[in-house]
Amino acid sequence: MTSVGTAYIDGGGERDQRNSAVFAAFCSNVNKPNRNGETMKFLDEAKVYIRSGDGGAGAVSFHREKFIEFGGPDGGDGGRGGDVWVEAVNGLNTLIDFRYQQHFKGKTGVHGMGRNRTGAKGADVTLKVPVGTQIFEEDNETLIVDMIAEGQRYRLAAGGNGGFGNAHFKSSTNQAPNWANPGLEGEEKTIWLRLKLIADAGLVGLPNAGKSTFLAACTRARPKIANYPFTTLHPNLGVATIDGQEFIIADIPGLIEGAHEGVGIGDRFLGHVERTRVLLHLVSAQEEDVAKAYKTVKHELEAYGGGLEDKPQIVALSQTDVLDEDELKAKSKALAKACGAQPLLISAVTNRGMIEALRALRDVIAAAKAGEEQA
C-alpha cells in the first residue's frame, strides 16, 4: 500500500475520531446488548402514543381572617398541564428505545389554592430522537415536523390551560362567586417516528457488490463483511477523510430485482439515502452481466421514487482485483455502455481507485453544498 493510501485511510487523526464517535454506536448495533441483555437491533420506525397534561382546576376559597368581616373570594387559578416535546439529540442512531416505551404523558397541572395561590405547571415530557427523524400523524403520511438539526425542538402536544379560581369571577355585581373552572384537558394523539439518516453520500448496489468493504476501507466503521448475500441487514455510517475534508457515507442493505415489491429485504432502507447529495453505485466485477446488474438497481431506485432517481450518481466497477486485464476491460466497456459514462475501477483490497472515488464524491458534495448556500 502506498503512503498516499495510508494517509487517506488513516488520515484525519483526532478529528476523524471525534466525528466518527457520533456514529460509533451505529457500527456496533448488531453486537451491542440492550438493557434486557438481548442483541440490539436497528429500528427506524416506531409508533408512539402521546398525551399532554390536563390543566389544574381553579380553587373555590374565601378569605378568612380575624377582624376582617368580608374577606371575599381568594381561590387561585390552576396550573397549565405539561407539554409533550420532541428533541433531536446527538449520539442516537436508532429508535430502539421506543420499542420499550410507547406511551408518553405530560403531568397534570397543580390545582389552584386559597390565598390566591396559582398551581404549578405540570412537568413536560420530551421524546429524544436521532437527528434525521421525521414525525408523522397517525395516518403515517401527514408530516408534522422533520428533525434535521441537533438541538431542534418541537412541541407535539400543548398542555391544557388551568381553570380560573373563584377570585377571577369577582365583580361589582357578584362579590362572592362560589364556583371555579376545571382545567382543560390535554391533547392526545398517536404518532409515527421514522428515521432517515443524514449522510452526504450513499452506497447502493446488489448484495455482495462490496459496499460494506468499501465503507470499512475508507472509514473507521466496521460493518459485518462475509461472502453471502444480505450480510448487511441494517444501515451503517462512517466518516471518510480525503485531502483534509470529511464527509459521511451511508451503506444500506443490497437491492435485488423486485425489491420495491418486498422481494429480499425490500426497499425500506432506501429512505436512509434520500437525504444524501450523491450516490455511489457499486457493480461487482464478479457479475456475469454487469450491465444487467446496473439496470436492476437503477430500476429499483426509479420504482422507489423519493427523488433518488434524480440524484447525482457515480458508477464504479468494484472488486476489480478478481479479474485479469482483458476481462476487466470488457466488463468496464459493457458497464460504460449501460450507464452512459466511464465507470470508476476500484478495489478496496488493493486500494485501486479508492482515492479517485472519494475525491469524486467529495467534489459532488462540495458543489451541492455551494449551491445550497447560494440558494
- Residue 60, annotated as binding a ligand: no
What is the model's pLDDT at position 201?
A: 95
In the chain, ranges of CATH 3.40.50.300 domains: 3-32+198-374
CATH 2.70.210.12 occupies which residues in the chain?
Answer: 45-195
pLDDT of residue 264: 73
Residue segments in the chain with a per-residue pLDDT below the cut of 70: 1-41, 375
Name the pairing type of β-strands 133-136 and 143-147.
antiparallel
Q: Establish whether 273 is an annotated binding residue.
A: no
At 305 the pLDDT is: 84
Q: Where are the alpha helices (DSSP H) in the chain?
A: 3-10, 13-21, 24-27, 211-218, 290-304, 325-339, 354-374
- Radius of gyration from C-alpha coordinates of the chain: 29
pLDDT of amino acid 375: 66
Ligand-binding site membership of 348 (annotated): yes
326 in a known ligand binding site: no
3-32+198-374: which CATH architecture? 3-Layer(aba) Sandwich (3.40)
Name the strand (E) or helix (H) holding 126.
strand 125-130
pLDDT in tens, 259-313: 877 777 777 788 889 989 999 999 999 999 999 999 999 999 999 988 888 899 9
User: How much is the pLDDT for 341?
Assistant: 92
> 3-class secondary structure for 105-123?
ECCCCCCCECCCECCCCCC
Q: What is residue 41's predicted lDDT score, i.e. its pLDDT?
A: 57
| Residue 122 assigned as binding residue | no
| Residue 56 assigned to a binding site | no
211 is in an annotated binding site: yes
What's the pTM value of the predicted model, to 2 decimals? 0.78
Q: Confirm whether residue 139 is marked as ligand binding.
A: no
The predicted structure's pLDDT at residue 12: 39
Is 212 known to sit in a ligand binding site? yes
Distance from C-alpha of 31 to C-alpha of 40, rounded to nearest angstrom = 7
Q: Into which CATH architecture does domain 45-195 fall?
A: Distorted Sandwich (2.70)
Is 253 flagged in the annotation as binding?
Answer: yes
pLDDT of residue 231: 76
Kindly state the cell numbers that stand for 11: 488520515
| pLDDT tens column, 65-117 | 888 888 899 999 999 999 999 999 988 888 999 999 999 999 999 999 999 99
Query: What residues contact 80, with CB distance under 8 A and at least 6 apart?
Result: 53, 55, 56, 109, 121, 122, 159, 160, 161, 162
